[in-house]
Each structure stands twice: as structure tokens, then as C-alpha cells.
Structure 1
Amino acid sequence: MNLPAPAPESLLPITLPAALDGRDGTNRARGTIRQITADTDLEAVRLWLAEYAGSPHTLRSYRKEVVRLLVWATRALGKPLSSLTREDFLLYERFLAAPTADWTDPALPRRGGARRLFEGALAERSRRQALGILSGLLDYLVAAGYLAGNPLALRRNRATRAARTRRVERYLDHALWQVVLASMEAWPQGTLRERQHYERSRWVMRFLYHTALRASEAAHAKAADIVQRRGRWWLHVVGKGGAEGEVPVSDALMAEFARYRAFHGLPPMPGPGELSPAILSVAGDAKRHLTPTAVYLIAKEVFRRAAAVLEASDPLGAATLARASTHWLRHSAASHQADAGTDIRFIQKNLRHASIETTGIYLHAEDDRRHAHTVGEQQAQPSTAPAAPQ
């Protein structure tokens, strides 16, 4: 029986010069038992991308980074992926920080062999993310017996120390979150369209906050993913890279879900195996879900309108809301759970972090206590400054 190819060309629709296809790459593994049948770099990379075919958002992100590297390596260095060295990746990192004009020219098309792959220089965080994705690719190819080693494994992780001590800043404190909720209650609801928009926005914001989901996870969540066990509600989530997890769902959020469904003429609670999305389409169609981009834009509008309400009385808070996005709600949820004393191990599971150090950046309460004790002690001390002359 002929099985379908595990990595179709549609996953990576580019071509490379035959002389640079990687068959004779200097970093190719020799004399090992290979776990894949790929003979060229494109075949191997397509197989890696196929592992993420079930996660469209992740697939798009990973494909973008690998296309950038493949085109740069073959065009700028005249090397295939499987011949790149640590020195080559140092050059690539510098290139990402300052791509030349011929790579960012707005006149270049967005598709095709000579397309524009960069809008401009990548910020440090974006460079770190890009190299992390590429390192994951190389690790995969090493484990598959296709490459002899991962040149990026030698990269010094300069962000490790900072990651242990920094605190996430892209989140809303409790007061700003209440402003967001209150602002929506003032939205017009005189027409059916206004009422639909209000109910949809109200549900989207609460769903994202109470579950700490990413926009793509929320967009693809189904009603049937919410299940009850031992009298408690749980949401089954398929996250980045296809990783699965479960998030606790409060009775309060279930009441909001019932309200949202009832508005669209659905039973308050989903039935067994119901395939309707957790967030319905704009028209309330139970057979269609919103896209991740639509979820993102709804949140941006809510934040923008809340910022406008706050502008006169609290310009700083308004500026914060104007910058906020869906991911801020994920950060806010984690920060507020930490503030409430939730065990950090539980927060790690709720956010589905691989490392508990990542979760640690949400522990603002410890900093608040340290500040209060330090400043309190200083203010309690009597002044030792000499008296001013009379």
C-alpha cells in the first residue's frame, strides 16, 4: 500500500538550486541509522513542518523563519542548510539585526523567488525567537540522523539570567481590567447588530481572561472541549506545537458561556459531542468560528474604546490600554492568579509552560511586598539630617 507523503510540497512551496540541495552538505550525518528517508534539505525541512500541520499558527511562524534562512543561506553564502556552521549563524544573527536594503525594498513582491522577506531589522526579542525556532529544527534533524550536529547548540543563551529576574510588563493590573469590563457596559445596544457586537466582545474578553488562552487557541476551541468531571468544569486545549492540556473553568465563566449561547438561541450548556465553536462567527453561525485575527481585532477594539474612556482622567492608564492586545489578557490572567496566591505549579499548568521559570515572571506580589517593606522601613526611620540654620 502506498502511503501519502508525510511532508507535501505545499508545506514549503519553494525551490532551491540543485547544487545547493544539501545532498553533500558538510554537516550531514554519515554512517548513522537515519529515522527519515529525506535526501535533501527541503525534504527534511518539509517533514519537520509536517509535524506542526495540525497547528496552523505555529506552522506559519515556523515556515516563515525557515524560508528566510534557506533563501539567505543559498543566496548570500552559496551554502545549503546542511553545510551551515556556527560562524554562518553568527553572520545570520547580525543580518537579522540589520538586513540590507535589497532584502527590505518595499517594491519587491511578497511572493515568488525574489520576494521581500523582511520589513526591516528584527528586534532582539524577534531575533531570539527566530534562532530558537531554527535551533528546534536543527535538533530535530540531528535526532533524525540527517545532520551530524546543531551549530546553534553552541549559542550562548544571554537571555537566561535576565529571564530569571525580569517581570512581565505587558499585563493589566486589577484596576485597569475592571475599567475594561465597565467600559463595555456603556456600549450602545439599540440595534440587533450593536447587541450582537456587545455580547460577542463581552464573551471574547472574559473567555480569554479566565482561561488564559492564546488568540489562536480561543478561536479554535469547541463547545465540546468544555467537559465536567467530579462536578468541576475543564477546558481541553490544543496549544503551540500540538501540545495538549486542560484549564480549570469557573462556574462564573460557565454562566457567561450560557448567557452567550442563549443570546444566539443555543442551549445554555453544550450537548455531548457538540461541534459548535466556543466563539461563534460574527453572524452567530454555530457551524463557523472566528479566525484568530478576528479574535485579536475584537480585543484591540475593546481596549481602544476603554482607553478613550480613561483618557481624560488617567492618561497613563489609557496609554497602557491602547497598547494592550490578546496576549496581555493571558499575562493578566497569570499575574492575577499569582496575586491571589495560586500555587505557581498550578499557574504553570494553566498556562501550559514547559518551564516553571517562565511562569515565575508573573509573580509581582513578591516585588510589591519587598517594595512595601523597604519603603515602609525607610519612611519609619527618623530623619538624621541636620536641622536647618535659623
Structure 2
Amino acid sequence: MDDSELSAHQVVPPAAGRAQIAAISDAEAVAQWLGEYRASPNTQRAYRREAERLLLWLGDRQLTLSQVRRDHLDAFEAFLADPQPRERWIGPTRPRQDPRWRPFRGPLSPASRRQCLVILQGLFAWLVEAGWVAHNPFRLMRDKRRRLDNRQGRVERYLEKPLWDWLWQWLNEVPGEDAAPRVRFEHERRRFVFGFAYLLAPRIGEMAAARMNDFHRREGRWWWHTVGKGGKAASIPVPPDMLRLLGEWRTSLDLSSQPRPDEVAPLLRGLDGRRGIGENRLYRLVRGTFADAADALSARQGEEGVREVALLRRATPHWLRHTALTHQAQAGVELRYLAETARHSRLDTTARYLHAEDAEWHRQQSRHSLSPGADDDGDQAV
């Protein structure tokens, strides 16, 4: 990312002339901050998006980073909730170089606005240390804890077990005998993608980058090796269902059921069965599958499935990771092993997936009743 990509900001002097970075504009200063995340491309891309939105908004108001005040933060948060004029700020996904590109796909949800502010708080903290700005306006927020505390509640963006069970059953519906080879291939691919995501909880970037020989056997057990967020390498146990699924996917590619140690070919393949697929293509594949599943569920259940259909339409690839980790926790996988599967550096991050106590809490709370003599299940005593 360079100066012209982010904004046409004018050259500005650093705060008090004490810059610790070699930059002559806000965009260059932000680019150096983003450079600190070069080892985490997905994080860098997300941070770039939020920084770019801020710089474009400031440029529209002829402000620089060093001029941002506390009241500007409220105005910017309101703008995130309703970017106006819409035709200038909102549009469909297009290449960054396309003149029709827009920085927003739509208004940001409260959670997305909070995440944006968290990222920008970190940006300003770094710029203060770099001597580029004199102060961090986020520190003046009275409700800073509510807005910027990066600790979140339990994960809610996941598919509950009955809905996942229905989805997996739907994914396993075999195309008719007269189906074209392409249809059969796409069926096998999306079935493998969803099974892989559910059984091993990978991030979408890890899935797209996976190679056949990332699956390897050690002392009679199969493991999946991946390099994830922050360049952190990990080996994840491969359960029997995953090994079976891998064998079925490889068979559909006319390969042996188990990968060889020297097999560096992509795990996920394009329609030619050889070339890999990128992260964007994989994202569209998963979202498209969720949309197709929602249509199928709506046709089969009608109004009875309205809530579940809505969830499927909202679901993104990351929901599969949340679903996998949540269901593993509910199945009794210990927290320390769950954290290893998730590649979390903090146990409290993994603990957000622990919904298992809800049922017991709900059962015990049922003892508190308006009806004297009710038992634990709410039935009246005779």
C-alpha cells in the first residue's frame, strides 16, 4: 500500500517535530503501521480497510490524523453506521483499482463499528509512540471500556447442532444419475470443504493454502499441519471422519486415498481438478453453499424454518470455525485441547466457545417456579 492508494492527504509535519518514522504524510505513516503486520496478511488486510476508511473520511473533511479530536470520533462512528452520500461510499465488491470501487458494502453493524474503533485505537497508540501525533483521542472516551474493550462475550455466530446436522445431511444428498460431471465435482468439493471446516476448525486462509502433504502420519496417527494467524505453526489431530472424508475427496480426484509425503499439490482444487483455489473463490463457494442451503430449507420447512433459514443466509465461512469449536466444546473436548485446535494464545479467548453449561444452568433454574411442588422438569407433583 502506498500514499496514493490510501488517500490524497497533503504532506503534514509530525507532532512537535519528534517523528520516529520516515514518513511525510498520514498515508505513509499508516502504511508503516500496517507494515508491522506483514507476517499476518489477513490481519493486515482487515486493518488496512479500517485505516483507509478513516483517512478517506478525514480527507473529505480536510482533516489530518493529528487534528482528530474527541468529537470527531462520535461523528466518524455515526458515519460508519450510515455512510452518506450512499452512492459515494457504498457499492458492490470490485477491484481496488476500479473507479467504481467503494470502501463500504453497506452500513456497519454495532459489532463491526466496535471492531473498527478497536483497530483505530491501536493505530493511534502506535502513532503516538512514533511521534506522528501528539495524543490518542480514543483515550478521552468516557465509555471507552464499553466501546473499546476487546474482550467479547460468548460466540453466538455459529450453527446450533440440529441445524448443522440438517446442513450436513443436505450436503450429502447425491446428485442424480444424469448429473453432469461438473455438478458431481462441485458436490464433492463443497462437501469436503464443509466437512474439513467442521472437523478441524481452520480459518479460510488456512484452508485455501492447504497442501495434500499437510496431512501426515506420525507414530501411527494422522495430523494436519498448518501455519495460521501470525505465522504460528501447529499440528492438529485428524479424527477418523476427517481421514475418511479426505480419502473420498482424493478418490474423486483420481488419487490414492492417502496423501504421500512428497505430494505438495493443493488440497482444494478448481474445476480442472489440478489448480488450487484462492481465498476469495473459497469464500464465495462457502457463501453460495449457505445460500443454496437456505433456499432448500425454506422450500422444505416453510414458515417453520424461518429462523434457521435466516441464520444460513447470514452465515459466513468463519461461522464454520465457530460452529466447529462450539460443538467440540459441547462434546466435552477439554479447554486446553480446544485452545490448541483453535490456535489461541489465550485460554479466555477459547472459553468464549463454552456453551455447555447453559443446559445445566437452565435445568437448575427451572427449580425456581411459581407453581409449588413442581419438580426439576417443571411437571406438577401429584
CA gap of 1:137–1:243, structure 2 versus 1, over 3 A, is farther
How far apart, CA to CA, are the structure 2 residues paired with 1:162 and 1:58? 15
Q: 1:264 aligns with which of 250, 253, 263?
A: 253
Residues 6-85 of structure 1: pairs in structure 2 closer than 5 A? 9=2, 13-18=5-10, 21-22=11-12, 24-26=13-15, 30=18, 34=20, 36-53=21-38, 56-76=41-61, 78-85=62-69
The alignment status of 1:158 with 2:149, answered yes or no, reads no
3-state SS of paired residue (1:353): coil
More relative contact order, 1 or 2 (CA 8 Å, 6+ apart): 1
Q: Contact 2:7–2:56 at 8 Å: present in 1 too?
A: no
Partner of 1:183: 170
Partner of 1:362: 353
CA gap of 1:196–1:99, structure 2 versus 1, over 3 A, is closer
1:207: how far off?
0.4
How far apart, CA to CA, are the structure 2 residues paired with 1:68 and 1:334? 32
1:341: how far off?
1.8
Q: 2:282 aligns with which of 285, 289, 292?
A: 292
How far apart, CA to CA, are the structure 1 residues paired with 2:236 and 2:369? 43
3-state SS of paired residue (2:356): helix
- The farther-off stretch of 268-277 and 154-163 is 154-163
3-state SS of paired residue (1:13): helix
How far apart, CA to CA, are the structure 2 residues paired with 1:298 and 1:131? 30
CA gap of 1:306–1:211, structure 2 versus 1, over 3 A, is farther
Partner of 1:274: 263
How far apart, CA to CA, are the structure 2 residues paired with 1:330 and 1:107? 28
CA gap of 1:238–1:38, structure 2 versus 1, over 3 A, is farther
1:67: how far off?
1.5
How far apart, CA to CA, are the structure 2 residues paired with 1:216 and 1:208? 11
Q: Provide the TM-score with structure 2 as the length reference.
A: 0.80
Percent pairwise identity? 34
CA gap of 1:257–1:37, structure 2 versus 1, over 3 A, is same
The alignment status of 1:134 with 2:120, answered yes or no, reads yes
Count of aligned pairs between the two proteins: 365
Q: 2:242 aligns with which of 253, 271, 282?
A: 253
Q: What amino acid is aligned across from residue 189 of structure 2 in structure 1?
A: R
How far apart, CA to CA, are the structure 1 residues paired with 2:105 and 2:127? 29
Give CA deviations for 1:150-205 in whole Å, capped at 9, x if unaligned: 333454031578966x4433222222222122222323142322321221121011
Point out where structure 1 has 5 or more consecutive residues left out of the alignment: 1-7, 384-390
How far apart, CA to CA, are the structure 2 residues paired with 1:178 and 1:319? 16
The alignment status of 1:303 with 2:288, answered yes or no, reads no
How far apart, CA to CA, are the structure 2 residues paired with 1:157 and 1:25? 29
Q: Provide the TM-score with structure 1 as the length reference.
A: 0.79
How far apart, CA to CA, are the structure 2 residues paired with 1:162 and 1:73? 25
The alignment status of 1:170 with 2:145, answered yes or no, reads no
Q: Contact 2:158–2:322 at 8 Å: present in 1 too?
A: yes
3-state SS of paired residue (1:279): coil
Give CA deviations for 1:120-155 in whole Å, capped at 9, x if unaligned: 532211111211222233334345454455333454
1:55: how far off?
5.1
3-state SS of paired residue (1:46): helix
Q: 1:193 aligns with which of 164, 182, 186?
A: 182
CA gap of 1:235–1:64, structure 2 versus 1, over 3 A, is same
- The farther-off stretch of 205-214 and 325-334 is 325-334
1:366: how far off?
0.6
CA gap of 1:218–1:29, structure 2 versus 1, over 3 A, is farther
Residues 203-352 of structure 1: pairs in structure 2 closer than 5 A? 203-285=192-274, 287-290=275-278, 291-301=281-291, 303-304=293-294, 307-308=297-298, 310-312=300-302, 314-315=304-305, 316-352=307-343
Q: Contact 2:204–2:318 at 8 Å: present in 1 too?
A: yes
How far apart, CA to CA, are the structure 1 residues paired with 2:86 and 2:163? 44
Partner of 2:191: 202
CA gap of 1:265–1:364, structure 2 versus 1, over 3 A, is same
Partner of 1:101: 85
Give RMSD over aligned pairs.
3.5
